[in-house]
Amino acid sequence: MIKSMTGYGKAEANLEGGKLTIEIRTLNGKNSDANIKSPLLPKDKELIVRRRITESLTRGTIDLFMGWEPKAGEAAKTLNRELFDEYFRQVEEACSDKEGYSRDGSFGAILSSVLRFPDVIDTRKADIITEENWPLVSKAVEEALDAVNDYRAKEGEALYRDVTSRVATIMELEDQVEALEQERIDAVREKLMKNLGELRQKVDPSRFEQELVFYLEKLDINEEKVRLRQHCRYFLDTIDSEPFPGRKLGFIIQEMGREINTTGSKANHSGIQKLVVRMKDELEKIREQSLNIL
């Protein structure tokens, strides 16, 4: 079964100083574009994580986030006292200029606000992930990747149902085109005869039939019908047999579009033109969905 390139996975690792949260989000992309958006991961481990992401998720735009929640009391040990004092002094001075300001009444609010200022709490990010706790972090990364793949598989089921049903619809519309072919030929013949009658010119019947055959051959869409059905069957075979068919499906869709467009250009019949427009609409929706197929 196919997979979507859209996915989400989350996992946690309980380390000695607190809880490390790992989130992975993926979107569609032509290649594997892995972005680690966190300073928590040491540089020497980044290459390992990127390799695992590529091996596990294959393709897509992939963002990995890490969050750190220290244990109670741990943050107090890493308070940047110099920066805290400066922030607190500036905030207190600003508040003292306000009418009705009371240090006793506002001290708690100022303290709470200053502690949330950037870099006041130094979490010592470079020391959070160490060689000792790396196995726990690595395991959490694998759990997040597994969650992404599960998510992708569920999304893939919905994609599969959608695109295969639309391909089936195109084949059904092609059958309706075939049913209108004789009507189209008769209409073309009648139109030519009418125009010829209006010219009030005598023509050689056998020569006229010969020219009519040449003209109708230019409007013949039998090859387009055969190729379009072949492309539709190839699309269904590919999506059923290959684990990552996304790129190949894109090429098949291009070929399907070429045959549908040629059918429309040769149609010369309002009923067939309407069916061609419906096929184009279905194919465009297939193309949009296929961009998200892994």
Determine whether 40 is exposed, middle or buried from the number of CB atoms within 10 Å of its CB (0-12, 13-18, 19+).
Answer: buried
Query: For residues 60 and 293, what is the distance between their CA atoms, to the nearest angstrom?
Result: 10
Residue 173 has pLDDT above 90, yes or no: yes
The encoded tokens of residue 76 equal: 């107090």
pLDDT higher at 66 or 220 = 66
pLDDT of residue 188: 73
CATH 3.30.230.10 domain locations along the chain = 7-73+131-152
pLDDT of residue 91: 78
Best CA proximity match to 253, nearest among 178, 169, 167, 175 = 167
At 248, give phi and psi (nearest 5°): -65, -40
Q: Tell me the average pLDDT across 59-79.
A: 80
Looking at residue 64, the DSSP 8-state letter turns out to be E
Q: Tell me the average pLDDT across 207-231.
A: 81
pLDDT confidence of 86, banded at 50, 70, 90?
A: confident
CATH class in words for 7-73+131-152: alpha beta
